[in-house]
Amino acid sequence: MFRTKMNLTAAVGLLLAAVLACNFSTAKLSSIKVGKDKAVNTEASTFEGSDPVYVVATVSNAPGKVKVKGRLLIEDVPGQEAGPVPGLAKTLELDGSGTATYSFTPPPNGWPKGKYKIEVTLMDDSGAQKDQKTSSITVP
């Protein structure tokens, strides 16, 4: 009888641990891909001035709603101040794990030559940051 109670207690403890582990999964950005086509079938890091820039961010382990913010930043472009490119930030809401896709269209005169950074930030439903990934691109 004592042995049965111990086995039952151990089994309930393991079940409880498994349930708690599932409920406290940490949402994360498992990858970001940058390319010249919307599905980012082929990744790229060099773009012509007239090329649109597409980003696909994959969110994993999200137990509920999340927000994913994608933006393009200037790193080193002659005559331009470093920082976010005005108007090229977008926040998408996902109901859980999945993908967030962004497209950045070049200005009428094309992307100025230089170095840029793609930044994707994952936030929980309340807006608290959970993860962030970046990727660099160049316009020669």
Domain boundaries defined on the chain: 27-139
Percent of the chain with pLDDT over 70: 82
pTM score over 0.85? no
**Sequential DSSP letters for 48-60:** -TT--EEEEEEEE
Could you tell me if 58 and 94 are in contact, meaning their C-beta atoms sit under 8 angstroms apart?
no
Residues paired with residue 32 on neighbouring β-strands, in sequence order:
57
Q: Which residues contact 38 (CB under 8 A, 6 or more apart)?
A: 54, 101, 103
Which amino acid is present at 90? K
113-115-118 Cα angle (round to 5) = 125
Fold (topology level) of 27-139? Coagulation Factor XIII; Chain A, domain 1 (2.70.50)
Q: What is the pLDDT of residues 27-80, one digit of tens each?
A: 999 999 999 999 999 999 999 999 999 999 999 999 999 999 999 999 999 999
Nearest 10 degrees: CA dihedral of 31, 32, 34, 39?
Answer: 80
